[in-house]
Amino acid sequence: MGAGHAHALYVRRDSVVHRLPPHCKIVATVGFVLAVAITPRHEVWAFAAYALLLAGVTVVARIPFGTVLRRMVIEIPFVAFAFFLPFVARGERVEVLGLALSVDGLWGAFGILAKGTLGVVASILLAATTEPRTLLLGVERLGLPPLLTQIATFMFRYLDVVADELRRMRIARAARGFEARDLRDAKVLARSLGALFLRCFERGERVHLAMLSRGYDGAMPVLAEVGASRRQWALSAALPAAAGLVAAAAWMAVWTLR
Amino acid sequence: MDASLEVSGLAYAYPDGTQALFGVTTSVRRGERVALLGPNGAGKTTLVLHLNGILHGGAGTVRVGGMPVDPSDKKALKEIRRRVGVVFQDPDDQLFMPTAREDVAFGPANLGLRGAALERRVEEALERVGMAEFADRAPQHLSFGQRRRVAVATVLAMEPEILVLDEPSSNLDPASRRELAEILLSLDVTILMVTHDLPYAAQLCPRSLILSGGVIAADGPTLELLADAELMAAHRLELPFGFIPQALSGA
């Protein structure tokens, strides 16, 4: 049946980080990313410090470094742009391996790459230590309208079911000799998608009936209360607080050296 | 008479004008297990959706445990939906929460249960279908038979007056089918079972109703109805190869 790929990002471990309430971790992640984002890009040591902080979290959360590294691949298409900057930016040039590169461009590329990577790693850690459904509880706790989190919860639940239906339709197509070769086959695929949409729509109706039958009146009952103690908040504040200090120090360095 | 379910003169036409029910009258006593048989398109599902007030607007009345189903009275409707536990055909439609435990808790939580009382109710319901050890599994990680059992638990957790099952044996392998039968027989609850699986009806339900063309065409002991070849043929009901109801009734 379902391959359960929706859980793929979560790494089951027992650690302090895993046990923290989801909304604390979300706030901590956002705080960390903000601190990284405002850091002046010329202060290279600051980014090294951030990387060390994340490495520390990775160790505490008992996530293998290899796992984090492998997942960082997702970043590549987003930072591809950074590699062009040294070639296209204007201003002072510097000779590197016989290529004349823009100094500003190089710094720009470094900034995007460093900040992007740190943000991606922070999110990877959040996803690895928090189950998707508690993540949803967390954002709801932080004030996202329940309707949106309900939609996300259902999407999460039915992703496998829909993927299964899609696979069955593909097998049915293949069983009758269909193989998508070029653009002309798009018509067949579009029809399949239409059929899939209808099936999902009908399933939605049936699920709604089932919910009504069990007393649903527009609000999901709150089953798991995700409260956070002061200690847990303090603990999860450690990362963004440290990052904040680094950012402040970086700016201090910029001002005093000027 | 101590009736769990009384249906009288129920008629219904869908908004597109298709008339599905033409005056259905019947009643089910408390503790009885009744099979609702009928060919495709006989109006079985339409009847089921009337029992808990999801469909309404035609003629006739439905009473559950003496309480009339009145869709305009929201509060009463909530109580009706607690009393009538519908187990739908596709467990994927019924199990919409992230884990089995949360799904079973959904109904009683809507009834206002919280905390330890809610937990106890959930544990008990899962226990009754033999699924307690799978409470924290996601539904997509359960086998089809297990999902159907959890679907039964979601309804049992609401302590219904009557359990309504839509095609409970469909898509089950023979072992899961037998396990579900054992579970259903062990429950001390009124059951109305919609099915095409006539041997299943014979095994589980002493009494059967035949719904055909939107009316109750026959009502009697299951084995007698199944043995009546003329009646069966008139309503497009056919026994599987090799199944002889006379052999079961000892006649």
Asked whether the beta carbons of B187 and B128 are under 8 A apart, the reply is: yes
pLDDT at B194: 95
Higher confidence at residue A107 or residue B28?
A: B28
Q: How would you label B39-62 residue by residue, b for 16+ Cβ within 10 Å and e otherwise? A: eeebbbbbbbbbbbbbbeebeeeb
Domains of chain B by start residue, with CATH: 3-249 (3.40.50.300)
Residue of A nearest to B158 (CA): A214
Pick B209 or B57 by higher pLDDT. B209
Contact of B64 with B4, CB cutoff 8 Å: yes
Residue B1 pLDDT more than 70? no
Q: What is the pLDDT of residue A224?
A: 65
What is the least distance, in Å, from the CA of A160 to any CA of chain B? 7
The pLDDT, as a whole number, for residue B180 is: 95
**Contacts across the A-B interface (CB distance below 8 Å):** 82
* Number of neighbours of residue A61 by Cβ within 10 angstroms: 19
pLDDT mean across residues, chain B: 92
> Which among A2, A211, A217 has CB closest to B96?
A211
Residue A227 has pLDDT above 80, yes or no: no
CA geometry: angle at B29 spanning B28 and B34, to 5°? 50
Closest CB to B107 among A203, A206, A215:
A215
| B126: nearest Cα among B103, B94, B143 | B103
- Using one digit for the tens of pLDDT, what is the confidence trace for B29-58? 999 999 999 988 888 989 999 998 888 888
Where residue B142 falls among pLDDT bands split at 50, 70, 90?
very high
pLDDT (tens digit per residue) in A249-258: 999 988 887 6
- Mean pLDDT value across residues B114-121: 92
E strand segments, A120-253: none
For residues A82-97, average pLDDT = 77
Task: Examine the pLDDT at A93 and tell me if it is beyond 80.
Answer: no
What is d(CA B145, CA B166) in angstroms, rounded to the nearest whole number?
A: 15
Domain ranges of chain A: 5-138+228-257, 145-213
